[in-house]
Amino acid sequence: MNLAAQDIRHNLPRFGLTACGIGLLLMIVLGMGGIYRGLVYEATLLVDRVNADLWVVQHNTRGPFAEVSSVPANVESRVLAVPGVAAARRFVYWTIQRETSGRPLRLAIQGLVWPDDNGAWLPLAAGGPLHQAHYQMIADRTLGLQLGERIKLGKDFYTVVGLTKGMTSASGDGMAFFSLPDAQAIQFDEPGEAIRLQRNTRFRQMQRLDLGQQQPALLPRVSGQTADLPAILPPTVSAVLVKLAPGADAQKIIATINGWPDLTVYTQAQENDLLVHGLVDRSRRQIGLFRAILVIVSTIIMTLILYTLTLDKTHDIAMLKLMGARNRVVIGLILQQALLLGVIGYALAALLGQGLFPLFPRLVVITPQDFWLLAVAVLGISVLASLLGIWKAMRISPNTVLA
């Protein structure tokens, strides 16, 4: 006869509720590790997918994901002139929020350099890549858009021609991919009244300058479209992505570009490191703190339950001792209950987690290593939680049965 099993049968409701509570706590502990892995995966996803050897960004900035980076579009031509550079392309990335069909729509937008890049490298789950230079987009499924759906962004309508799966930004927003001119048109879109006031301001400023008074013919041109002004540079981009030629000396190329006073260069590994240790680091520490607190709470709950169960069977333990039972029998009784409580809690955590984690709004990445680490933690928690009950059982005198 197993004494631990018999005792659990007599206290089944209390034991079952405790096991359920422990299971939910352990599920949260498991999930927090998965949430952190998901944050890292989403933060580095686009960098890994783009697969550029070098990222050329604005001087003294940390790239387009960590902060605002503004690079002149002609940097692409400058970089291509560096010996050892096989290819360079402009990169545009930022986040916007609009409203469609009465619901908020938050997009992480990336511009594709059409026709060299039409989005064929994306993990397309439905539809296909862009097949024209304007008014088409590829959207991630998390945005809730459908193939063929048309949405208005800026002053134009864009048709969804492809759907990706798992393409989300570091903040969890679904990505949308446009041709580079369309992406910039959305980025720099302004209301008509703002454009009118801007042109009127330029006109007034030119009127007050000597040049405007000496050459009145310039005034109508100044009040025209911004793109028609020769002194105005084309829209900037977030970064320039560089692909090196086989056998090229990467360090020499980096030193050359870093020598330019307006630019900074990062390798792919450095860009990933900036994201993980900058954007995700604080979340990692906070999640780690919560996991530690939950483990402590689980240990305390199990300790109190096992101690209470030990108090409830004080008379039975005294009887066992009076009958000549050895201490290891009593210790085994309490330790087996602790281990069984931990095993049931672990099983509930694993089963509930596999069913619930896919429903979370953010990606939760659970690996086999997480299950092994949780199993070791549960074993440690069970042993620690049994110590107080064992200590109390050892202090019970056989004479207690005669009281």
Angle, CA 371 vertex, CA 366 and CA 376 arms, to 5°: 145
Q: Is residue 9 part of a domain?
A: yes
The amino acid occupying position 343 is: V
DSSP letter, residue 275:
I
Q: Is residue 396 part of a domain?
A: yes
pLDDT, residue 136, reads 92
Q: Is residue 305 part of a domain?
A: yes
Residue 192's pLDDT band, with cuts at 50, 70 and 90, is low
Q: Is residue 205 part of a domain?
A: no
Residue 138's pLDDT band, with cuts at 50, 70 and 90, is very high
Chain Cα centroid distance, residue 329: 50
Q: Which residue has the higher pLDDT, 345 or 280?
A: 345
Q: Average pLDDT of 291-310?
A: 81
How many C-alpha atoms does 92 have within 13 Å on its Cβ side?
Answer: 26
Task: Please determine, for residue 178, whether its predicted confidence score (pLDDT) is greater than 90.
Answer: yes
Q: Is residue 129 part of a domain?
A: no
What span, in angstroms and rounded, lies between the C-alpha atoms of 366 and 368? 7
Task: Please determine, for residue 341, whether its predicted confidence score (pLDDT) is greater than 70.
Answer: yes
The CA-atom distances, in angstroms, between 141 and each of 165, 176, 182, 202 are 6, 10, 21, 44
pLDDT, residue 389, reads 79
Task: Using alpha carbons, select from 381, 258, 397, 220 the residue that is nearest to residue 315.
Answer: 397
Residue 229's pLDDT band, with cuts at 50, 70 and 90, is low
Show Cβ contacts of residue 196 under 8 Å, excluding neighbours closer than 6 positions. none
Task: Please determine, for residue 216, whether its predicted confidence score (pLDDT) is greater than 70.
Answer: no
Residue 381's pLDDT band, with cuts at 50, 70 and 90, is confident
- Assign residue 199 a region (left: φ > 0; alpha: ψ between -120 and 50; beta: otherwise): alpha
Q: What's the full length of the chain, in residues?
A: 403
Q: Average pLDDT of 351-379?
A: 86
What span, in angstroms and rounded, lies between the C-alpha atoms of 94 and 86? 26
SS3 368: helix
Of the spans 63-72, 189-198, 228-237, 315-324, which averages the highest pLDDT? 63-72
Q: Count CB-CB contacts under 10 A for residue 341.
A: 26
Q: Average pLDDT of 235-243?
A: 85
Mean pLDDT of the residues in the chain: 80
The dihedral formed by the CA atoms of 248, 249, 251 and 257, expressed in degrees to the nearest 10:
-60
Q: Is 37 exposed, middle or buried (0-12, 13-18, 19+ CB in 10 A)?
A: middle
pLDDT, residue 16, reads 79
pLDDT, residue 159, reads 92
Q: Count CB-CB contacts under 10 A for residue 355.
A: 10
What span, in angstroms and rounded, lies between the C-alpha atoms of 288 and 200? 55
pLDDT, residue 228, reads 52
What span, in angstroms and rounded, lies between the C-alpha atoms of 36 and 20? 25
Show Cβ contacts of residue 216 under 8 Å, excluding neighbours closer than 6 positions. none
User: What range defines the domain where residue 368 resides?
Assistant: 3-43+281-402
Q: Count CB-CB contacts under 10 A for residue 21.
A: 17
What span, in angstroms and rounded, lies between the C-alpha atoms of 354 and 373? 16
DSSP letter, residue 68:
-
Task: Please determine, for residue 324, whether its predicted confidence score (pLDDT) is greater than 60.
Answer: yes
Least confident of 76-80, 143-147, 174-178, 207-211: 207-211
H/E run at residue 325: none
What span, in angstroms and rounded, lies between the C-alpha atoms of 375 and 157? 53
The dihedral formed by the CA atoms of 263, 53, 108 and 151, expressed in degrees to the nearest 10:
110
Q: Average pLDDT of 126-150?
A: 90
Percent of the chain with pLDDT over 70: 84
Q: Average pLDDT of 84-90?
A: 88
Q: Average pLDDT of 356-368?
A: 85
Q: Average pLDDT of 317-335?
A: 75
Bond prior to 115 in cis (omega within 30° of 0): yes
Task: Please determine, for residue 66, whether its predicted confidence score (pLDDT) is greater than 90.
Answer: no
Q: Is residue 296 part of a domain?
A: yes
In contact, 63 and 230? CB cutoff 8 Å: no
Q: Which residues pair with 88 in a beta bridge?
A: 242
H/E run at residue 239: strand 239-244
Number of domains observed in the structure of the chain: 1
pLDDT, residue 162, reads 92
The amino acid occupying position 281 is: D
What span, in angstroms and rounded, lies between the C-alpha atoms of 335 and 341? 10
Show Cβ contacts of residue 368 under 8 Å, excluding neighbours closer than 6 positions. none
Q: Is residue 258 part of a domain?
A: no
pLDDT, residue 6, reads 64
DSSP letter, residue 324:
T
pLDDT, residue 272, reads 83
Hey, what are 55's tokens? 């990222």
User: How far is the first Cα of the chain from the last one, in angstroms, to the nearest whole number?
Assistant: 27
Angle, CA 187 vertex, CA 182 and CA 189 arms, to 5°: 90
Q: Is residue 380 part of a domain?
A: yes
Location of structure tokens 């096989």: 86
